[in-house]
A and B are shown apart, each in its own frame.
Chain A
């Protein structure tokens, strides 16, 4: 087995260097003569910085890169994260010098191509979600949520409807939903789920009144199920004057099939790093564009990319009701290029097929695994589903143990212990980019682990065995974290 990679500090050898500079051909001036003494560091830096040859550095980082696991190495069924394969053509287009060499302060006459891409992407998102206007500024999903909630707040305040202090969130919601609403200053009301995995409609009706600013909902929700009562839910909220916020984390299930705007939602965010195939999870920055219905367009962040009558594009700053800027410059622009490339590569029919295959793959895996694990909701799922090891309870094997054992078989584990409404949840999202062979192999691994839980319990409870680092002591890591290197 490989040993852990030493730190650069440990690889350091005194006097070793990656470059040899030519002799200085100008008079040397002592640093004290150029910088006031009180501004100079008192530490002797040399003794703290590692000294290495180029080959040491290259080998160190190349070795570290082989310890990584990503979509380019294997199946990554992390529920609610939509870890789909990111086509390399996206990267290639995002690296075109016409995009990468742009400076954000260049005049609009020189940036028409970039502005056109943004305007067309806004149009695409409007069509896909049933919204009337979009901002591309938010740099991540939670950032998009906050932008959306600020728009809701600005809308109610503009109408001088200041009694609305509450936001309703179902108990299956992503944790960012209540966190965002609280951050924007709202009180949170949690509504329970029903036995079908949807919002408990009666509980919702009891919770609403004219103090409700909005309901935040994911549909399909975090248990991978489409809420059958969605039209009634949106009506209940609208009837008391509240707005409907759609968390777009699970949009991968519905592209070209259902639109939040048609379900009654007023605001939507999309996660480009999930649905639109841009890298995430350490692989790249996120992007969380926000779309709104016509009556909320004046509140969108500025500047807005506008298509003018003569066919040119401009950044509009004169928007008096706008909530203002939510990001420096315009967006995580290269992420937008990748999403644009993805949408143009697939086209409308292709996006629809992607969603259909994502749902088909999830149902295929679910139908195999439900014979071997407990399935809390016996329904056709959307892009993801939940199973639990409740049927293995007598063995003492928990979800955590199964997740660790999956590592031994060379896969990334699914999302575990979320959503919290299902005890010992394992949330599996295969995405559309996996073949039936991959799904079959993964299913066989989970079936085998269920057998091992019964016959070789300790093997599962002490997993992983084949990884570089075996079972981590998470308790010590949390209680006594050792976060920095010190020269001892």
Chain B
């Protein structure tokens, strides 16, 4: 189940908002489709991300995928745990498998993202 306190996009990435800090990660569906994640590349703490632009890559046994930012801002924390243990993206995508935390310049772009219910409808539509 996709947590209701998060927002989702069509690239199967989530954003969790706490104040002006937004946590990025990939969804359960994303990790399921990718298969075993073997490598995660993330930027350094303190660098900037731009909405809609790639900030890192997730590599699985099947493919290498870009991951893009849902909002712009400065990275305040990087999950260094996943760099050494990328399987956390498979085992706990919404918990220990988070990727980066960003201090948002502007939370407005999140309005275009889907709620958990909308995302689940989107997943069903994508099936067909």
Contacts and interface: CB of A to CB of B under 8 A. Distances in A.
A392 interface: no
A423 interface: yes
A258 interface: no
B113 interface: no
A398 interface: yes
A181 to B, nearest CB: 16
Contacts of B61: 400, 474-475, 478
Nearest to B36: A475
Interface in B55-77: 59, 61-63
Contacts of B36: 474-475
Nearest to A478: B38
A417 B38 contact: no
A420 interface: yes
Given A398-B35, A400-B35, A479 B63 contact: no
Contact of A474 (B33, B38, B87): B38
Interface residues of A, number: 10
Contact of B63 (A398, A417, A478): A417
B86 interface: yes
Interface residues of B, number: 11
Nearest to B86: A479
Contacts of B35: 398, 400
B39 interface: yes
Contacts of B33: 423
Nearest to A474: B61
Most buried by A among B33, B38, B87: B38
A463 to B, nearest CB: 15
Contacts of B86: 479
B38 A479 contact: yes
A478 B36 CA distance: 10
Interface string A21-33: 0000000000000
Contacts of A416: 62
Interface string A163-180: 000000000000000000
A398 B33 CA distance: 10
A416 B60 CA distance: 14
Contacts of A423: 33
Given A423-B33, A479-B86, A400 B62 contact: yes
11 contacts: A400-B61, A416-B62, A417-B62, A423-B33, A474-B61, A475-B38, A475-B87, A478-B38, A478-B39, A478-B59, A479-B86
Interface of A: 398, 400, 416-417, 420, 423, 474-475, 478-479
Interface of B: 33, 35-36, 38-39, 59, 61-63, 86-87
Given A416-B62, A475-B87, A479-B86, 11 more contacts: A398-B35, A400-B35, A400-B61, A417-B62, A417-B63, A423-B33, A474-B36, A474-B38, A474-B61, A475-B36, A478-B61
